Structure 1
Amino acid sequence: MSIISPALKGFIKLRQSAIDNFVLNPIDTQQQVFNNLISSAQHTEYGKRFNFYRLNTVSDFKNNVPITDYDVLKPFIHRIMEGEQNILWPSQISWFAKSSGTTSDKSKFIPISKESLDDNHFKAGKDTLALYLKQFPQSDIMSGKCLVIGGSHQVNQLNTESFYGDLSAVMLQNMPLVGQWVRTPDLSIALMDEWEQKIEMMAQSTIHDNVTQIAGVPTWTLVLIKRLFEIAGTDNLHDIWPDLELYIHGGVSFKPYRTQFQSLFPKRPIHFQETYNASEGFFAVQDDLTQEGLLLLLNHGIFYEFMPMEEVGKEDGKTLSLKEVELGKNYALVISTNCGLWRYTVGDTIQFTSLNPYRIKVSGRLKHFINAFGEEVIVDNADYAIAEACHQTGAQVNDYSAAPVYMTNETNGAHEWIIEFETPPNNFEAFVSALDLALQHINSDYEAKRHKDIALRRPIVHIMPINGFKNWLKDKGKLGGQHKVPRLSNDRKFLEEMLPYTKR
């Protein structure tokens, strides 16, 4: 570390100064971001359609530009994928981040501009490191490499000039040379599509590296670590990487995984730092590892609005600006970004844990969901899969509920279902298989996690006797039209309550 220490200290000072500036001046910073976004995009097709040149205030913006989601912007995005430019954002866009889709699409393709890479994703990555080093100035983290567990990458066949992949893969492909120098494994391995082979090659190629930090989704990280333990014949990750000190995580809640990760370091604990990023942008990072909240990144090419839950779903739903939010209330996150997403609902709900500085935590999704492994299964996905399985096996379903089975050191995760049939399937195992395959068909992230059982096993399905769900609701004092069985839950609370009713 001594060789790069002066440069590293200069980098920390520069980034921390920038962070301090937006922390001290949050409202002015967001106003500057807003002005830059509107000015940059006023001559795009979208900017002309909504008269960006006339939008002098945030109030003008809210009154004239509609709230959107992926389905609204999809026609514009597809035109960009086919080679048209200056549609949503002025600079040329050749990269798209693929993520799990909406009700009508298996996958979303989020445009990634040079500005969104440089001023959002990469900048936020640097700030994540700067914030860590500010808390731990004696850290030796830069003496080794960062193990990055990336996604898949393949050419978009619609246009030879356009490419798509998981966000992590897009970032790896476009990473500056200095970033390539400090990361591992080799790019050819990091961008492999076949996950079983990829995990094996990652394990073999990194086991002798000096890894000081890991960045990745908990699910895949655990799969890799299990393989490393098999190769090395140990259950202590410090036996393999003695200088490992930081795990940067995001994408799914870390609560179910924390104990399991802590057990990987039985003699000396490491630090865990949470980030909140998505294909649409990098939004927040944990600046104090002793607190739950994440520092909202205010000078990273994103203008934020916050929609109270009572406004969600309204055609003219009202949003709040940063200075209007309150602690502890749920808001739907609405963003406008330097890749051309305008008043875009991310789909997450957040709460503010602090207003000075502005810190947030992700409180859920706008719909019931399961996202324990990064699969982002929503009720619409589950409804489709149930209907398809019923169609194939002659079944009729009254109700259902599902929740995750978390990974352990011995087994991979799974989804556990309780289903009440009005008409049982003609073949129960065929029903389970059809359910599983239909979910893979409608949700590309679930499909990736199920591939060769590498992260998710086959679903576990229990049959609920007729009126079982009704009895559960009755016993809870919630029998009535306004009370419904939760279709999907991201924890096991309801499922554990329901399981005894399957045996009555």
Structure 2
Amino acid sequence: MIPVFNFAIKQFMNQRMKNIRGFMEHPVETQERLLKNLLLQASSTEWGRTHGYKDIISKEQFSQQVPVSTYENFYPWIERCLKGEQQVLWHSDIHWFSKSSGTTNAKSKFIPVSKESLKDCHYKGGKDLLTLYFDNVPQSKLFQGKSLAVGGSCSPNPYRSNSQIGDVSAVIMANLPTWAQYARTPSIQTALMNEWEAKIDRLAEECSKENVSNLSGVPTWAVLLLEYILEKSGKENILEIWPNFECFFHGAVSFHPYKSIFKKFLPSDQVHYMETYNASEGFFGVQDDLSRDDLLLYLDHGIYYEFIPIDQIDSEFPKTITLDQVQLNESYALVISTNSGLWRYNVGDVVRFTSVVPYRIKITGRTKHYINVFGEELVIENAEMAIAKACEQTNAVLANFTAGPIYFNNENKGGHEWIIEFETEPADKNQFVILLDQFLKELNSDYEAKRYKDMALLLPTIHFVPEGTFYKWLKLKGKLGGQHKVPRLSNTRDYLEEILTKCL
């Protein structure tokens, strides 16, 4: 893009920076004002009438009158929205739903996305991401090139014709304002394609010809695209194709396993990496200081926050605290109320505050055991159900198991590695591996997407270990006894490495 456009955008960003400093300097007042506005807008909805929103005058009263909900608790209300009812959870009509995995009861979960959420949460969050980037890199020429977003796809809502369902990235791209469409690549038709092999070919063809200055997306898919572009072009690194490239905006999974790969793709200290916390439920925060590794919590983006102390997570009626009550270096489950009609909704993420002036966080895990190195969101319920079905099909009897990631490296794709101990081993071990993979795909749409034609995840690697292996490991850890359990899933390789090196 022409330099004058880059200059004009930077001037706009300078103005927006004043607003960001406003919520950084007045966080509690910002959040209390936002809560009052959310309650006012939703007071005439069925949920608002049911929970007496017109009578709520304080955040304390809000927490007393409205229950903390999980997706499973909330789904009957969301299902009504999916089927076309309006004024159920939010005052404006809902025609878009973002899809993700992680629910106990279904392959996917569907999160309503209102027009207010798109404008005042996701897009505002994106603009503030760019504002903070320019604040960190004032010499940036980001808008002299184009933004490349590696996103998902949309599909019709099976319940009604005038509604769409898709990955949050696809929902955002499908609704982008004209100015943002002008600043991005590839074409919207290519960006929203749902067949990955055809899509990656089109992405590579279109984007290789553009002056791409920045890339955003989940590292897993970004790696696949960049590898494909290099393979087709015959170039050594991405800077030979996009010499003005300067930033990768990443999120959804830990970036740590991917650092060395991106250094190989982009061998320059002038390339920056900026983390975002943008989920199906909303845009929660961003790395506001590139010299730090924590995230500024967005406080005026249509989301009111509460926090469940870690010792309350398993409680049927957990007590929450508000922003002004959090303590540094304590872990909390994140609870949100949003301008899409999620009310006191337990996201399932665990965060830790690293700063309270301003409020900054780190994502430290999930409220449940999980693997999410590649964006697959594999939760314990998925794993236990899949392994039970595989055992049933192969006449095996399970004793114990644990699983973790096989990280990407410069030579190999990623995957999942399992250590499984049986009382009765499967009649056909190869069949067991295939069945476990098949059932995981049936239970978890994100895992299924990453496994598609081995594009992002390879077939699971399974170690069939002798009886007593996990007993030996628990004894080694000094954790023999009824209260100690083998962790089923981990987002690191720590348990795998210990068992494989010390107990076999």
Give the TM-score of the pair, scaled to structure 1: 0.98
Distance 1:192 1:259, change over 3 A: same
Which residue of 1 is the match for residue 89 of structure 2?
88
Query: Given that residues 6 and 142 in structure 2 are in contact (C-alpha distance below 8 angstroms), is that contact kept between their aligned partners in structure 1?
Result: no
Which residue of 2 is the match for residue 129 of structure 1?
130
Pairwise CA distance, 1:265: 2.1
Which residue of 1 is the match for residue 162 of structure 2?
161
Pairwise CA distance, 1:316: 2.3
Query: Given that residues 116 and 301 in structure 1 are in contact (C-alpha distance below 8 angstroms), is that contact kept between their aligned partners in structure 2?
Result: yes
Which residue of 2 is the match for residue 226 of structure 1?
227
Which residue of 2 is the match for residue 263 of structure 1?
264
Q: Which amino acid aligns with 2:243?
A: P
Matched, 1:297 2:298: yes
Query: Given that residues 262 and 269 in structure 1 are in contact (C-alpha distance below 8 angstroms), is that contact kept between their aligned partners in structure 2?
Result: no
Identity %: 50
The 3-state SS of whatever aligns with 2:89 is: coil
Structure 1 runs not aligned, ≥5 long: none
Which residue of 2 is the match for residue 53 of structure 1?
54
For 2:180 and 2:266, the matched residues in 1 are separated by 27
Aligned runs of 1:4-43 on 2, under 5 Å? 4-43=5-44
Post-superposition CA distance 1:38-68 (Å, at most 9, x none): 0000000000000000100000001110001
Aligned runs of 1:414-433 on 2, under 5 Å? 414-433=415-434
Pairwise CA distance, 1:501: 5.5
For 2:153 and 2:268, the matched residues in 1 are separated by 35
For 2:395 and 2:418, the matched residues in 1 are separated by 19
Which residue of 1 is the match for residue 101 of structure 2?
100
Post-superposition CA distance 1:164-197 (Å, at most 9, x none): 0100111111000011111111111111111122
Q: Which amino acid aligns with 2:226?
A: I
For 2:94 and 2:268, the matched residues in 1 are separated by 48
The 3-state SS of whatever aligns with 1:39 is: helix
Query: Given that residues 307 and 319 in structure 1 are in contact (C-alpha distance below 8 angstroms), is that contact kept between their aligned partners in structure 2?
Result: yes
Distance 1:268 1:240, change over 3 A: farther
Pairwise CA distance, 1:268: 4.3
Deviating more after overlay: 230-239 vs 173-182: 230-239
Which residue of 1 is the match for residue 194 of structure 2?
193
Matched, 1:355 2:356: yes
Which residue of 1 is the match for residue 72 of structure 2?
71
Q: Which amino acid aligns with 1:498?
A: I
Which residue of 2 is the match for residue 109 of structure 1?
110
For 1:252 and 1:352, the matched residues in 2 are separated by 19
For 2:306 and 2:487, the matched residues in 1 are separated by 29
Q: Which amino acid aligns with 2:467?
A: I
Matched, 1:483 2:484: yes
Q: Which amino acid aligns with 1:52?
A: Y
Q: Which amino acid aligns with 1:141?
A: L
The 3-state SS of whatever aligns with 1:491 is: coil
Aligned runs of 1:399-478 on 2, under 5 Å? 399-478=400-479
Which residue of 2 is the match for residue 377 of structure 1?
378
For 1:110 and 1:323, the matched residues in 2 are separated by 28
Deviating more after overlay: 58-67 vs 226-235: 226-235
Q: Which amino acid aligns with 1:369?
A: Y
Q: Which amino acid aligns with 2:480?
A: L
For 1:267 and 1:15, the matched residues in 2 are separated by 30
For 1:246 and 1:386, the matched residues in 2 are separated by 41
Query: Given that residues 468 and 501 in structure 1 are in contact (C-alpha distance below 8 angstroms), is that contact kept between their aligned partners in structure 2?
Result: no
For 1:275 and 1:317, the matched residues in 2 are separated by 28
Which residue of 1 is the match for residue 325 of structure 2?
324
Which residue of 1 is the match for residue 208 of structure 2?
207
Q: Which amino acid aligns with 2:162?
A: E
Pairwise CA distance, 1:235: 2.8
For 1:54 and 1:158, the matched residues in 2 are separated by 34
Which residue of 2 is the match for residue 182 of structure 1?
183
Q: Which amino acid aligns with 1:279?
A: S
Query: Moved runs in structure 1, 4+ residues, more than 3 A?
Result: none
Structure 2 runs not aligned, ≥5 long: none
Post-superposition CA distance 1:98-154 (Å, at most 9, x none): 111411011001000000000000000000000000111111111010100010111
The 3-state SS of whatever aligns with 1:4 is: helix
Which residue of 1 is the match for residue 311 of structure 2?
310
Query: Given that residues 93 and 111 in structure 1 are in contact (C-alpha distance below 8 angstroms), is that contact kept between their aligned partners in structure 2?
Result: yes
Matched, 1:242 2:267: no
For 1:283 and 1:272, the matched residues in 2 are separated by 18
For 2:280 and 2:29, the matched residues in 1 are separated by 26
Pairwise CA distance, 1:486: 1.2
Which residue of 2 is the match for residue 281 of structure 1?
282
Post-superposition CA distance 1:383-430 (Å, at most 9, x none): 001101001100011000101001122221110001001101111111
RMSD: 1.1
Query: Given that residues 335 and 345 in structure 2 are in contact (C-alpha distance below 8 angstroms), is that contact kept between their aligned partners in structure 1?
Result: yes
Distance 1:269 1:499, change over 3 A: farther
Pairwise CA distance, 1:6: 4.5
For 2:262 and 2:392, the matched residues in 1 are separated by 41
For 1:340 and 1:108, the matched residues in 2 are separated by 15
Q: Which amino acid aligns with 2:20?
A: I
For 1:500 and 1:290, the matched residues in 2 are separated by 36
How many pairs does the alignment contain?
503
For 2:412 and 2:10, the matched residues in 1 are separated by 43
Deviating more after overlay: 195-204 vs 394-403: 195-204
Pairwise CA distance, 1:451: 0.5
Post-superposition CA distance 1:353-406 (Å, at most 9, x none): 111010011010001110000001011110001101001100011000101001
Q: Which amino acid aligns with 2:432?
A: F
Pairwise CA distance, 1:234: 2.2
Which residue of 2 is the match for residue 140 of structure 1?
141
